[in-house]
C-alpha cells in the first residue's frame, strides 16, 4: 500500500506549507507560518457513470479516470456510481497512491455506489442510508425502488480533523425540480435525511456528490439553509451533466456540488475531465458528468 501524504505541521511533504517554513502572503511578502497551521487539501467529486456495465467502454473509461487522478494533485476523490466490485477494482488498479479507500460492502458492490479514495490518513468511515422513500403520486413502487438504496458515505480524515460526506440522491428523470413535480417529495425526503446526517457530525464536514437537483431549485436552497454549507464554486459552476446525454428538448443543469462548512474556505475551484479523452475505439467522454475539484483551506 502506498504511503499517504501527510497534512498539517510535520516534517513530511505536505500540500501547502509547513510550520516555521517561509511562505508568501497575498501581498507578495514573506513571513512565517504560525504554529497552529491552517491545513490545505484538494478534493474532487465525479459521478463515474457506472451504468450500463456493458456497451459503454467501461474498462477504458475507468482506466482514464483512475490515471487522471493518479497523475493529478487531488488528495481526496469522491466517486459515485461505482456499482460493482469490478468497478472498484478498475479504479483502484490505476490509483495506487491513494492508500485509503472507503466504502461499505453490499451484495453487488459498494453501498449506494459510493467510494471515497484518499491520499490522506483516514480515521474511519460509516455509511448512512436515507431510509424508505415516501409514497409519491405519479411514481410506481418500481420507480421508487432505486431510492431505497441511496445514502451518504461519511469518511473521517485523521489530519486535518475533517469529515468528507460523499452522496448521490435519487435521480429526477423529468428535469423539473419545481414543487409540483412528481419527484419533489422524493428529493425533499432524501435531502432532509442528508441534512440530518450532516448536522449529526461533530467536526466540520465537506459534502460532495451528484445531488441530482438543480442549483437554482428551492430544494438546493433549503438544503444549504438547513446545513449552513456553502457552494465552493459560489454559484458559478456550469452545467455538470452533459447535454449530449439528455433527451431532445431537455436542458443541462448544474447538479454536482462540493459544499463547505464554516471554517473551511474554498481558495480555488475548477472542472475535471471536461473534454473527450482517448479511449479504446476512439475519443470519448469518461462520464456523462463533469468532475469538480476544489482547493480547501481548513482554518484551525
pLDDT given at position 55: 79
pLDDT, position 21: 25
Backbone angles phi, psi at 16, to 5 degrees: 130, -135
C-alpha cell at 11: 516534517
Asked if 224 and 230 touch (Cβ cutoff 8 Å), the reply is yes
pTM for the whole thing? 0.86
Name the nearest CA neighbour of 214 among 160, 264, 178: 178
Per-residue pLDDT, 38:
66
pLDDT at position 246 is 86
State how far the alpha carbon of 59 is from the alpha carbons of 56, 89, 111, in Å.
Answer: 9, 10, 21
Q: Select 22-298's CATH number: 3.50.30.40, 3.40.50.20, 1.25.40.10, 3.60.10.10.
A: 3.60.10.10
Cell of 281: 475505439
Distance between start and end Cα atoms, the chain = 30
Q: Which three cell numbers stand for residue 168?
A: 448521490
Q: Please classify residue 13 by burial: count the beta carbons closer than 10 Å to its beta carbon, then call 0-12 exposed, 13-18 middle and 19+ buried.
A: exposed
* Per-residue tens of pLDDT for the chain, all 300 residues: 333 332 222 222 222 222 222 222 222 333 333 434 568 999 999 999 988 777 789 999 999 999 999 999 999 999 999 999 999 999 999 999 999 999 999 999 999 999 999 999 999 999 999 999 999 889 998 889 889 999 999 999 998 889 999 999 999 989 999 999 999 999 999 999 999 999 999 999 999 999 999 999 999 999 999 999 999 999 999 999 998 888 888 889 999 999 999 999 999 999 999 999 999 999 999 999 999 999 999 987
Question: Quick one: which H or E segment has residue 230?
Answer: strand 230-231
Domain positions in the chain are 22-298
**DSSP string covering 34-84, please?**
-SSPPEEEEEEEEE-----SSSS-HHHHHHHHHHHHHHSS-SEEEEE---S
Query: pLDDT value at position 143?
Result: 86
Amino acid at each position: 500500500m502506498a504511503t499517504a501524504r501527510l497534512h498539517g505541521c510535520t516534517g513530511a511533504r505536505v500540500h501547502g506549507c509547513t510550520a516555521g517554513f517561509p511562505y508568501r502572503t497575498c501581498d507578495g511578502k514573506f513571513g512565517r507560518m504560525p504554529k497552529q497551521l491552517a491545513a490545505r487539501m484538494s478534493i474532487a467529486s465525479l459521478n463515474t457513470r457506472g451504468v450500463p456495465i456493458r456497451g459503454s467502454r467501461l474498462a477504458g473509461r475507468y482506466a482514464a479516470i483512475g490515471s487522471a487522478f493518479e497523475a493529478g494533485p487531488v488528495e481526496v476523490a469522491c466517486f459515485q456510481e461505482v456499482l460493482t466490485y469490478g468497478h472498484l477494482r478498475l479504479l483502484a488498479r490505476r490509483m495506487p497512491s491513494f492508500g485509503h479507500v472507503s466504502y461499505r460492502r453490499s451484495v453487488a458492490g459498494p453501498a449506494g455506489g459510493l467510494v471515497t479514495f484518499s491520499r490522506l490518513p483516514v480515521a474511519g468511515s460509516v455509511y448512512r442510508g436515507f431510509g424508505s422513500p415516501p409514497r409519491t403520486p405519479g411514481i410506481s413502487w418500481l420507480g421508487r425502488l432505486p431510492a431505497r438504496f441511496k445514502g451518504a458515505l461519511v469518511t473521517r480524515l485523521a489530519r486535518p480533523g475533517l469529515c468528507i460526506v460523499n452522496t448521490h440522491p435519487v435521480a429526477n428523470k423529468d428535469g423539473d425540480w419545481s414543487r409540483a413535480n412528481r419527484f419533489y417529495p422524493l428529493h425533499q425526503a432524501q435531502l432532509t435525511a442528508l441534512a440530518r446526517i450532516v448536522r449529526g457530525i461533530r467536526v466540520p464536514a465537506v459534502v460532495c456528490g451528484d445531488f441530482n437537483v438543480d442549483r437554482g431549485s428551492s430544494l438546493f436552497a433549503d438544503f444549504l439553509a438547513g446545513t449552513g454549507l456553502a457552494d465552493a464554486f459560489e454559484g458559478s459552476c456550469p452545467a455538470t451533466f452533459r447535454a449530449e446525454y439528455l433527451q431532445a428538448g431537455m436542458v443541462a443543469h448544474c447538479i454536482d456540488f462540493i459544499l463547505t462548512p464554516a471554517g473551511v474556505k474554498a481558495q480555488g475551484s475548477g472542472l475535471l475531465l471536461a473534454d473527450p479523452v482517448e479511449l479504446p475505439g476512439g475519443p470519448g467522454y469518461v462520464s456523462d458528468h463533469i468532475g469538480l475539484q476544489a482547493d480547501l483551506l481548513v482554518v484551525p
